[in-house]
């Protein structure tokens, strides 16, 4: 089992070594966490595993032996705890999150152990270490039996979804390897853990210090029929990919080396995918089929849970980072409100109502806790009413998000059901969350791709959407003509809306002044709003001086071809100033208004407007009639 021992048997024959390597390369990997406080012998157990699997080098063993004599607690024997307890400096560092990862391997498996020392921060550290663990080894001192902390460890394991528990009853050497003691502790534990719903609980009597039932079955406990600890860890079944689990690929990165390739990169959270499989994208609801699974080693026939892949699709559909590609028959739920279990990890308590950044496997969204339903006492598992969650507390909360996210309940999929909360100011990770269920039941009925587009909306109104953009000097007659056009269109039963200074400056843009930057922003917002109106299928009339060609071009480019109709109300400056309906020209001439278009600020007349109106030769009524005729002839109205 120890890797070095067997390799020594391998001859120097290169083929033998290669064969041996091939076997090693096909090992599986198990991640586990050890739970227990210092007194339970956790460090001794990990040190023992490292030592017995021959992971240590001679120089490290020499150091260990010297340290054991100098600082150890085991007399002349090796103090394995020194291997993992670390340097004095390390303890003094005051690392806030204290999870150490250790590695060892045997012939069959590579192991990653999450080791979470420390009593104070226990819940936070343990939740962190347990989040990636396949199995938890819960240590119990045979002299003490099941304690409050055993219950706490078990609860946290259950909370983060560990389904396989090893109850390691340690220090059997100190109770004379007594079977009765072990049996009583096991029975106690099983009674307690019944309600936690673990898939399996395996109890093993051990002595980490003496090496009993660690790598091989102990001769001192012949009464124990089960396997020793390490053989169990080597053979315990992993949660392997299930072929019929719903396919989930959180998209991390859109891969676009050139115009001919568009791939979607991410790590498969569950299920299997093959070329030809139908997929549906959350949140857009768009559907397509997988064209290929690309890797540097060539395209794959299939890929499953845990694999980092790049998919290409048959259709060109819009997918970006943060989206979730799902199997066609099993789209994920989407919600902007859900209930979740939360472990609070920051010194500053949780504040319901405060905005946090919620980060999932591949996307971030702004969210708030709308309701803290209760907190859970990790020692007694009692539910208690609470107004806030403090460091290391666990609670159940309702969340509200700024936009919907696609998810699965945590118990079904850890990868698509988990999230962290990030403080907006410090950027610290302040909590870990596990989604229970959506609070919007109605949305569980699956959405379809939004086939209702602007064409459908416009057709329902018997028109073609467009934006009539009136530009011209102050007093040129823009608003007068626009109002007349709208009245005529309304008479014809068309659906319209006017955007002008009056209804925009008082609401949407009331925060903007008249600096250059604000003027540009003013027009940008108006253009974006007009675009939304067009998307709604409306005929939108915009009446703004909009003196600069660049802003009008920007508006034109926001819209599709044929949607932007520029109308230059080309009344000469002299005529406008003579009319001076609002007395503004007079004020500008007196210098009371700065940057007045036509006086001390330029008006850039459109070079090629769709329509030019000359109000010196045509009345406003006639001009409006001309514009409506233009729309009729252009096919905007006759549908």
- Residue 110 binds another protein, judged by CB under 8 A: yes
Between 310 and 597, name the residue whose CB sits nearer to another protein: 310
Stretch that binds another protein, among 120-128, 490-498, 513-521, 563-571 (CB under 8 A): 120-128
Q: Read out DSSP for 256-293?
A: -SSTT--EEEEE--BSEE-TT-EEEEETT--EEEEEEE
Residue 414 interacts with another protein (CB under 8 A): yes or no: yes
Site for another protein in 439-478 (CB under 8 A): none
Contact assessment for residue 35 and residue 137, using Cβ atoms and an 8 Å cutoff: yes
Which residue, 426 or 444, has its beta carbon nearer to another protein?
426
Print the binding letters for residues 314-343 with another protein: x by CB under 8 A, - otherwise.
-------x-------xx-------------
Query: Least separation, in Å, of the C-beta of 65 and another protein?
Result: 14
DSSP string, 541-558: EEE-----HHHHHHHHHH
Which CB sits closer to another protein, 72 or 263? 263
**CB-neighbour burial class of residue 388 (10 A; exposed 0-12, middle 13-18, buried 19+):** middle
> What phi-psi label fits residue 162: left (phi over 0), alpha (psi between -120 and 50 degrees) or beta?
beta
CB atoms within 10 A of CB 112: 17
Please choose, out of 162-170, 303-311, 451-459, 557-565, the segment that lies near another protein by the rule CB under 8 A. Answer: 303-311
- Rounded CA-CA distance 258/358 in Å is 33
User: In this complex, which beta carbon is closest to another protein, that of residue 280 or of residue 588?
Assistant: 280
Out of 261, 289, 459, 639, which residue is the one contacting another protein (CB under 8 A)?
261
Q: Which residues, numbered 351-380, are part of the site for another protein (CB under 8 A)? A: 357, 359-362
Q: At what angle do helices 148-159 and 122-130 cross, to 10 degrees?
A: 40
What would the two tokens of residue 278 be? Answer: 């139908």
Catalytic residue among 68, 154, 546, 601: 546
Q: Is 546 marked active-site?
A: yes
156: phi then psi, degrees, rounded to nearest 5: -65, -40
Instruction: Name which of 26 and 441 has its Cβ closer to another protein.
Output: 26
By DSSP bridging, strand 278-282 and strand 324-327 are antiparallel
In the bound state with another protein, the residue whose beta carbon lies nearer, of 74 and 330, is: 330
Could you tell me which stretch among 1-9, 505-513, 547-555, 622-630 binds another protein (CB under 8 A)?
Answer: 1-9
Closest CB 440 distance from another protein, rounded Å: 21
CB of 110 to another protein, least distance (A): 4
The tokens of 51 are what? 């030592």
Residues 147-166 contacting another protein, CB under 8 A: none
CA angle 433, 438, 441 (to 5 degrees): 175
Residue list 166-195, contact with another protein (CB under 8 A): none
Among 306, 493, 591, 638, binds another protein (CB under 8 A): 306
Q: Within positions 218 to 247, which residues make up the interface with another protein, using CB under 8 A?
A: 240-244
Q: How far apart are CA 110 and CA 53, in angstroms?
A: 11
Where helices occur in 393-539 by DSSP H, the ranges are 414-417, 454-460, 478-491, 501-505, 516-535
CB of 115 to another protein, least distance (A): 8
Other C-beta atoms closer than 10 Å to the C-beta of 353 total: 9
Residues 53-72 that bind another protein (CB under 8 A): 57-60
Taking a C-beta distance cutoff of 8 angstroms, is the pair 319, 409 a contact? no
CB 473 within 8 A of CB 545: yes
Nearer to another protein, 289 or 462 (CB): 289
SS (H, E, C) 459-470: HHCCCCCEEEEE
Of the candidate residues 1, 2, 112, 317, the single one contacting another protein (CB under 8 A): 112
Choose which of 33, 35, 78, 127 interacts with another protein (CB under 8 A): 127
Q: Kindly state the smallest distance separating residue 44's Cβ from another protein, in Å.
A: 16
d(CA 440, CA 597): 52
Closest CB 256 distance from another protein, rounded Å: 7
User: Which residues partner with 143 through β-bridges?
Assistant: none
Nearer to another protein (CB atom), residue 193 or residue 432: 432
Under rule CB under 8 A, residue 35 binds another protein: no
Q: Of the candidates 48, 124, 248, 552, which one interacts with another protein according to CB under 8 A?
A: 124
Distances (CA, A) of 120 to 155, 518, 600: 17, 53, 70
Q: Cα separation of 477 and 472, whole Å? A: 8
Distance in Å, CB of 511 to another protein, minimum: 26
User: Least Å distance between CB 89 and another protein?
Assistant: 5
Which listed residue (74, 216, 252, 388) binds another protein by CB under 8 A?
Answer: 252
Buried/exposed code over 221-236 (b: 16+ C-beta within 10 A; e: otherwise): beebeebbbbbbbbeb
532 φ, ψ (degrees, to nearest 5):
-65, -40
Q: How many CB atoms lie within 10 A of CB 413?
A: 21
3-state secondary structure at position 144: coil
Residue 478's CB: how many other CB atoms inside 10 A? 27
Q: How far apart are CA 404 and CA 410, in angstroms?
A: 17
Q: Which of 71, 187, 402, 428 binds another protein (CB under 8 A)?
A: 428
Smallest gap, in angstroms, from Cβ of residue 43 to another protein? 12
| 23 near another protein (CB under 8 A) | no
Place of tokens 């898939």: 199
Judged by beta carbon, residue 27 or residue 612, the one nearer another protein is 27
**Is the Cβ of residue 58 or residue 561 nearer to another protein in the bound state?**
58
Position 305 contacts another protein (CB under 8 A): yes
Under a CB-based contact definition with an 8 Å cutoff, are residues 153 and 138 in contact? yes
Q: Point out which span in 140-148, 299-307, 378-386, 437-445 binds another protein (CB under 8 A).
A: 299-307
CB of 235 to another protein, least distance (A): 13
Bridge-based pairing of strands 248-250 and 324-327 is: antiparallel
Q: Distance between CA 343 and CA 127 in Å, rounded?
A: 8
Question: Cβ closer to another protein: 303 or 482?
Answer: 303
Question: At closest approach, how far in Å is the CB of 238 from another protein?
Answer: 9
- 29, 66, 490, 532: which one binds another protein (CB under 8 A): 29
For another protein, the binding residue among 75, 76, 89, 517 (CB under 8 A) is: 89
Looking at the Cβ atoms of 75 and 298, the one nearer to another protein is: 298
Residue 132 binds another protein (CB under 8 A): yes
Task: Give me the helices (H) in 391-494, please.
Answer: 414-417, 454-460, 478-491
Question: Does the protein bind another protein through residue 507 (CB under 8 A)?
Answer: no
Q: Is the dihedral of CA 50, 54, 56, 62 positive or negative?
A: positive
CA distance linking residue 472 with residue 265, whole number of Å = 50
Taking the complex as a whole, how short is the minimal distance between the CB of residue 254 and another protein, in angstroms? 9
Catalytic residues: 546
């Amino acid at each position: 089992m120890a890797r070095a021992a067997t390799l020594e048997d391998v001859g120097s024959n290169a083929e033998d070594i290669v064969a041996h390597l091939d076997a090693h390369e096909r090992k599986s990997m198990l991640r586990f966490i050890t739970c227990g406080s210092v007194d339970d012998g956790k460090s001794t157990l990990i040190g023992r595993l490292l030592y017995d699997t021959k992971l240590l080098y001679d120089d490290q063993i020499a150091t260990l032996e010297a340290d054991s004599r100098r600082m150890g607690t085991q007399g002349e024997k090796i103090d394995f705890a020194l291997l993992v307890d670390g340097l004095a400096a390390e303890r003094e560092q005051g690392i806030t999150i204290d999870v150490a990862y250790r590695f060892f391997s045997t012939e069959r498996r590579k192991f990653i152990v999450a080791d979470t020392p420390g009593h104070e921060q226990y819940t936070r550290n343990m939740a962190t270490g347990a989040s990636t663990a396949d199995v938890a080894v819960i240590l119990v001192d045979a002299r003490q039996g099941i304690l409050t902390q055993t219950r706490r460890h078990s609860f946290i394991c259950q909370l983060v979804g560990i389904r396989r528990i090893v109850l390691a009853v340690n220090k059997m050497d100190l109770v004379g390897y007594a079977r009765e003691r072990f049996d009583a502790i096991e029975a106690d534990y099983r009674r307690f853990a019944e309600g936690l719903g673990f898939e399996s609980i395996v109890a093993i009597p051990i002595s980490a210090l003496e090496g009993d039932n660690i790598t091989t079955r102990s001769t001192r406990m012949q009464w124990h029929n089960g396997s020793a600890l390490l053989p169990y860890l080597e053979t315990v079944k992993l949660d392997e990919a299930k072929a019929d689990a719903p396919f989930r690929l959180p998209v991390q990165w859109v891969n676009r080396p050139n115009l001919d390739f568009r791939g979607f990169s991410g790590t498969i959270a569950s299920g299997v995918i093959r070329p030809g499989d139908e997929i549906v994208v959350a949140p857009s609801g768009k559907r397509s089929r997988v064209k290929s699974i690309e890797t540097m080693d060539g395209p794959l026939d299939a890929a499953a849970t845990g694999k980092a892949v790049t998919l290409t699709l048959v259709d060109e559909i819009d997918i970006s980072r943060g989206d979730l590609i799902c199997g066609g028959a099993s789209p994920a739920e989407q919600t902007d409100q859900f209930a979740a279990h939360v472990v609070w990890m920051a010194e500053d308590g949780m504040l319901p109502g405060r905005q946090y950044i919620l980060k999932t496997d591949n996307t971030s969204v702004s969210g708030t806790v709308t309701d803290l339903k209760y907190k859970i006492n990790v020692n007694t598992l009692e539910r208690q009413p609470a107004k806030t969650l403090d460091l290391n507390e666990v609670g159940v909360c309702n969340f509200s998000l700024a936009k919907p996210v696609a998810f699965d309940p945590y118990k079904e999929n850890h990868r698509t059901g988990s999230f962290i909360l990030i403080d907006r100011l410090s950027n610290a990770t302040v909590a870990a969350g596990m989604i229970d269920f959506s609070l919007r039941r109605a949305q569980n009925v699956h959405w379809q791709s939004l086939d209702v587009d602007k064409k459908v909306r416009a057709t329902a109104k018997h028109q073609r959407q467009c934006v009539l953009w009136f530009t011209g000097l102050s007093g040129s007659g823009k608003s007068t003509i626009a109002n007349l056009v709208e009245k005529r269109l309304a008479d014809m039963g068309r659906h319209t809306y006017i955007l002008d200074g009056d209804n925009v400056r008082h609401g949407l843009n009331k925060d903007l002044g008249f600096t250059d930057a604000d003027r540009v922003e003013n027009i940008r917002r108006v253009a974006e709003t007009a675009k939304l109106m067009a998307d709604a299928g409306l005929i939108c009339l915009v009446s703004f001086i909009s003196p600069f060609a660049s802003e009008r071009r920007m508006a034109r480019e926001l819209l599709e071809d044929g949607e932007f109709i520029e109308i230059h109300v080309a009344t000469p400056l002299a005529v406008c100033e003579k009319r001076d309906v609002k007395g503004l020209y007079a004020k500008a001439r007196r210098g009371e208004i700065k940057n007045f278009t036509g006086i001390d600020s330029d008006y850039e007349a459109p070079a090629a407007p769709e329509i030019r109106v000359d109000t010196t030769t045509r009345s406003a009524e006639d001009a409006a009639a001309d514009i409506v005729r233009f729309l009729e002839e252009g096919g905007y109205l006759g549908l």
